[in-house]
Amino acid sequence: MQFFESYIERLGSDVVPPPEIILGSDGLETVARRISSLPAGTGVWIISDENTDTAFPLRAALSSLASSTTPASERRVAACSPLPGTPRVVPDDFLVERITCDVIAAKAGLVVAIGGGTISDIAKRVSYLAGVPNWCVATAPSVDAYTSAKSAIRVDGYHNGIPATPSSLVVCDVDVMAAAPQVLFLSGVGDLTAKYFAYLEWFIASLVTGEPYSEREASFALDSARRAVAAFQSLPSGARPDAAAARALGDAVLTSGLAMRAAGNSRPAASAEHTIAHFWEMAGVVGVESYDYHGLLVAIAAATVFPFYVGFFDQLRRGMPDPDRDVVEPYDHLSSLDRLVAPYRAKMIAETGGPVPLDERRRRVARFLASAESIIERAETLLPELETAIGALGAAGFPLTPASAGISAEAVTTSLRYVPYLRDRFGMFDLILYLGWEDRLGLPSPAGR
Ligand SMILES: [Zn+2]
């Protein structure tokens, strides 16, 4: 049994209806056959770009079902063109709205995404807005959102995880995935490194702020990452991923997406490293285009924040803080904003509002300390594992520094300063802010100071 199958079994009626997932060979034939057997006149709307149409020529295989010479009563595929391959598609609300209008005008009855995470996100959101189901044909194991119920869409230039219709059928052809550019494979493993932080931070947030927590979703997401990292490490040095490695990684990203869907949010999969990676993406500070992939940026952000997590727990081992004595007064982070974050002022206010008051900060630190033993125990298991995972990516010839992706020191500094404000998601950066530990951990001064 594949890992995602055992998870769906454990989910039972918690995810209804459960998606049909096919992880194997012959994806093209499978999807073509499924579409051919739909009722005539269904009107399948295919969303892909010119690059993926080469890797997965479903559109060409179905051309007879879309041809204007085919009688309307026999047609199953709506007349629609691929999105351009260059420049890369940006999943913003304008594009989503345009495609949604086209889908509605064509009276399409099914949306089929062919591609990576961006195409899947667009299709799930279009499906949600147009009120029609969607299928996803994933051509690269590059992100973990294929099976989730949210789409990452830019609204007013800001990254948002917004409601979407989960794909009722997800097809991952392991041979197509194995043939995808290696950078997409690394991106998938990179996205999964976030699960180690998530397992720690979601747990902390549940103890400190009372946020709902599910050990089932947290541990399935983490174990999916462990499996993918193990498969990645077992590849001979310098070897291209084969179908077996693609299957293992595909299994992991599918499981992680299901965990997000079951949790109702991305807590099982994303923490501070995602906040930072999303900020770099939307601020347009990634100077090297070949690195501008979600999972790669997540891995670089994970490697960037990793030493601060280690440092934080080192500080705790040296001596526990006193909530009444050691918690610092809040700064007015909106008083003078860093240049790169200034465009997101309104969004930050909507996301996190004003600073958390001193009394509440003290209560939160006290709650953290009351459970410090179990939190430290969890960190002591996870952080060494994460270091190994990051090291494995590095050993594959993937430089994990922001500079290698053309991200400036200014952009790194800004992202580290504003983690607590860019997203309403409690984590270790909030605790560092409450305790005023930036200087001792080597972090930039907090926003507003
Ligand atoms: Zn991600």
The Å distance, Cα 295 to ligand 1 centre, comes to 6
CA dihedral 111→257→168→216, nearest 10 degrees, is -160
Residues with CB under 5 A from ligand 1 (ion): 191
- Report, as an integer, the average pLDDT of 378-402: 92
pLDDT computed for residue 56 by the predictor: 87
* CA 397/CA 424 separation, integer angstroms: 35
Res. 236 pLDDT band, cuts 50 70 90: confident
Exposed, middle or buried, 87 (CB in 10 Å: 0-12/13-18/19+)? exposed
Domains detected in the chain: 3-179 (3.40.50.1970), 269-441 (no CATH)
* CA 379/CA 306 separation, integer angstroms: 12
**Percent above pLDDT 90 for the chain:** 79
The Å distance, Cα 262 to ligand 1 centre, comes to 16
The Å distance, Cα 117 to ligand 1 centre, comes to 9
pLDDT computed for residue 398 by the predictor: 77
DSSP state of 77: B
Q: Kindly provide the b/e burial profile for residues 410-440, where b requires at least 16 CB atoms within 10 angstroms of the residue's own CB.
A: ebbebbbbbbbbbbebbbbbbbbbbbbbbee
* CA 293/CA 83 separation, integer angstroms: 18
pLDDT at residue 73 greater than cutoff 80: no
pLDDT at residue 397 greater than cutoff 90: no
Reference 304, options 158, 376, 409; nearest CA is 409
Cβ neighbours around 57 below 10 Å, total: 15
pLDDT at residue 238 greater than cutoff 80: no
Residue 278 tokens read as 């999303």
pLDDT at residue 410 greater than cutoff 80: yes
Res. 54 pLDDT band, cuts 50 70 90: confident
Res. 195 pLDDT band, cuts 50 70 90: very high
Res. 240 pLDDT band, cuts 50 70 90: confident
Reference 420, options 308, 326, 285; nearest CA is 308
The Å distance, Cα 74 to ligand 1 centre, comes to 40
For residue 306, what is the enclosing H or E element?
helix 294-318
The Å distance, Cα 270 to ligand 1 centre, comes to 6
pLDDT computed for residue 250 by the predictor: 95
Reference 47, options 107, 105, 96, 104; nearest CA is 96
The Å distance, Cα 318 to ligand 1 centre, comes to 34
The Å distance, Cα 93 to ligand 1 centre, comes to 19
pLDDT at residue 72 greater than cutoff 80: no
DSSP state of 290: G
- Tell me: the pLDDT tens digits for 417-448? 999 999 999 999 999 999 999 999 999 999 99
- Report, as an integer, the average pLDDT of 386-410: 92
Q: Which residues pair with 46 in a beta bridge?
A: 112
The Å distance, Cα 352 to ligand 1 centre, comes to 21
- Report, as an integer, the average pLDDT of 162-173: 96
- Report, as an integer, the average pLDDT of 160-176: 95
3-state DSSP helix/strand/coil % of the chain, to nearest 5: 60, 10, 35
- Report, as an integer, the average pLDDT of 72-101: 90
pLDDT at residue 66 greater than cutoff 80: no
The Å distance, Cα 244 to ligand 1 centre, comes to 23
Res. 269 pLDDT band, cuts 50 70 90: very high
CA dihedral 174→302→406→418, nearest 10 degrees, is 130
Residue with tokens 């029609």: 132
- Tell me: the pLDDT tens digits for 97-141? 999 999 999 999 999 999 999 999 999 999 999 999 999 999 999
How far CA 344 is from CA of 219, 286, 340, 430, in Å, comes to 33, 18, 9, 19
* CA 134/CA 167 separation, integer angstroms: 5
* CA 80/CA 341 separation, integer angstroms: 38
- Report, as an integer, the average pLDDT of 278-291: 93
Mean pLDDT over all residues of the chain? 93
* CA 301/CA 388 separation, integer angstroms: 16
pLDDT computed for residue 348 by the predictor: 94
The Å distance, Cα 298 to ligand 1 centre, comes to 7
Most confident of 104-108, 273-277, 291-295: 273-277
The Å distance, Cα 287 to ligand 1 centre, comes to 20
Res. 337 pLDDT band, cuts 50 70 90: very high
pLDDT at residue 179 greater than cutoff 80: yes
- Tell me: the pLDDT tens digits for 5-37? 999 999 999 988 999 999 999 999 999 999 989
CB 208 within 8 A of CB 368: yes
Strand 110-115's sheet: what is its strand order?
20-24, 169-173, 134-138, 110-115, 44-47
pLDDT computed for residue 157 by the predictor: 86
The Å distance, Cα 423 to ligand 1 centre, comes to 15
Q: How many C-alpha atoms does 399 have within 13 Å on its Cβ side?
A: 10
- Tell me: the pLDDT tens digits for 201-214? 999 999 999 999 99
pLDDT computed for residue 65 by the predictor: 79
Strands (E), 9-117: 20-24, 44-47, 110-115
Cβ-based neighbours of 349, under 8 Å, separated by 6 or more: 334
